[in-house]
Amino acid sequence: MHATADGGVELDADALWTSVVAAGEQALAAAGRPALHAIGLANQGETVMAWDRATGRPEGPAIVWQDRRSSSICDALAHHGPRLAHLTGLELDPYFVAPKMAWLRERVAAQLTITTTDTWLLHRLCGAFVTDVATAGRTLLLDLETGSWSDEACAIFGLHAADLPTVVGNAQPLGECSTFGGNVPITGACVDQQAALFAEGCHTAGEAKCTYGTGAFMLACTGSTPTRSTNGLVGCPAWRLGDELTWCLDGQVYTVGAAVSWLIDMGIMSEPADLDHLGGGVADAAGVTFVPALAGLAAPYWKPHAKAAFTGMSLGTERGHLVRAAIDGIAAQVALLAQAAGRDLCAPLTRLRVDGGLTRSRTLLQVQADLLQCPVEVYPSPHATALGVGAFAALGAGLPAPSDAWRPSAVVEPAISADEAAHRLARWRAVADATMDH
């Protein structure tokens, strides 16, 4: 990926295709090249691109979910925000797809197709022009109630539903793929975070997970009820199996792994293991607070122009304190998302299942459990998204679905009181409130 000074984050589309093919080949090689019965594709839901539907050729880079250049589109349409939230369940923010599509439409030839990357990948893999309902739910163009395109939402962005791909379920035949040898049906497709939610067994209302990757993504299943958040989260489809839609609440922290990478680039850390070596080597952050708004703030704030801030430093501040402040800032944002989900669900979360690369940090997990005031259960595989979309592919092919029963590789319990957790969260939130508009 390539970040630009004006808030752009771009990805070479051909490199994306190459990575998908390489990942499939590596998985087959690792499994001893068994006979393939079905294929599933997960995707980075809010990333869009322009391409030629006749040739399949991409035109320019993909615009990544972190890209903020469509902020001007959101500002111009701000008066439509409440209506869009009611129609789609989503906040009007550059994070979501439609602002990026409108921004890109102004800059590419009219005959080009603009979609999320899954549609382009599926078109190359099997010729289909489709997107799954969970990915479509990230666009600001999908009717939350029906799981179909909203003509009204499309019109707000100057887009046309007829130009958009067909919305499909998450477990059904989409076409045949010869990329990996033979003609193998593609029968599963899903946006990455909802696939992980499915893999981690969060199938009933109130079950929640958080993935700590480039960003952190906290999803809570709401079951068969579409929920419009009144606490700063977004509501969206989780998956559709047959005719049955399941919904979820979603909250995002834009820079988590990205914040760690930034700390490494700045020379504050040398490697991710320093989260524990440095951040875990001090008792606390010694008064330092970090608001990791390196790409703006998402839920529950929705401040795309917010900037990151370190505060409370002194001559006695050490690198370990800065790293610990970064850990505290990440965990505080996730805790606020979990609290918001509890208010929307009218019951606090009783546990949080977690996955992703940063769950290797014991310090982060402990701080997270402390601020959540509930157990944190670590998913035993780093590949929750792949396992989730694999389960959808199995279901779509009529194969036995993998069991969703699993044992956490670790369970981390809170080690501080509820009063202390509330105090720490209030202190972090006070700094965030004071700095986010500057």
- Tell me the per-residue pLDDT of 96-137, one tens digit each, with 9 for 90 and over: 999 999 999 999 999 999 999 999 999 999 999 999 999 999
Query: Backbone phi, then psi, for 199, in 5-degree steps?
Result: -60, -35
Residue 241 corresponds to which amino acid?
L
- Tell me the per-residue pLDDT of 312-353, one tens digit each, with 9 for 90 and over: 999 999 999 999 999 999 999 999 999 999 999 999 999 999
Helix (H) or strand (E) holding 75: helix 71-76
What's residue 438's pLDDT? 62
DSSP conformation class of 78? G
Please name the fold of domain 216-224+231-240+249-378+410-435.
Nucleotidyltransferase; domain 5 (3.30.420)
Q: What is the separation of C-alpha 51 from the centre of its chain, rounded to a whole number of angstroms?
A: 24
Domain boundaries, the chain: 2-193, 216-224+231-240+249-378+410-435
What's residue 370's pLDDT? 98
Joined together, the tokens standing for residue 190 give 């899903």
Compute the mean pLDDT over every residue in the chain, rounded to the nearest whole number. Answer: 95
Least reliable range by pLDDT among 4-18, 72-86, 336-350, 395-409: 395-409
> How is the chain split among helix, strand and coil, in percent rounded to 5?
35, 20, 40
Taking the whole predicted model, whether its pTM rises above 0.75 is answered as yes
As a whole number, mean pLDDT of residues 272-285 equals: 96
One of 3.40.50.720, 3.40.50.300, 3.90.1150.10, 3.30.420.40 is the CATH number of 2-193, namely: 3.30.420.40
As a whole number, mean pLDDT of residues 72-85 equals: 97
Residues with Cβ within 8 Å of 190's Cβ and at least 6 positions away in sequence, in order, are 40, 42, 43, 132, 134, 135, 170, 198, 239, 388, 389, 392
As a whole number, mean pLDDT of residues 294-300 equals: 90
C-alpha angle 261-270-9 in degrees, rounded to nearest 5: 15
Whether the per-residue pLDDT at 267 is higher than 90: the answer is: yes
What's residue 402's pLDDT? 78
Which residue, among 77, 92, 342, has the nearest Cα to 207 in the 3D structure?
Answer: 342
Whether the per-residue pLDDT at 359 is higher than 70: the answer is: yes
Please tell me if the domain spanning 2-193 has the same topology as the one spanning 216-224+231-240+249-378+410-435. yes
Residues with Cβ within 8 Å of 55's Cβ and at least 6 positions away in sequence, in order, are none
Question: What proportion of the chain, given as a percentage, has pLDDT over 70?
Answer: 100
What's residue 295's pLDDT? 87
What's residue 403's pLDDT? 78
Whether the per-residue pLDDT at 246 is higher than 70: the answer is: yes
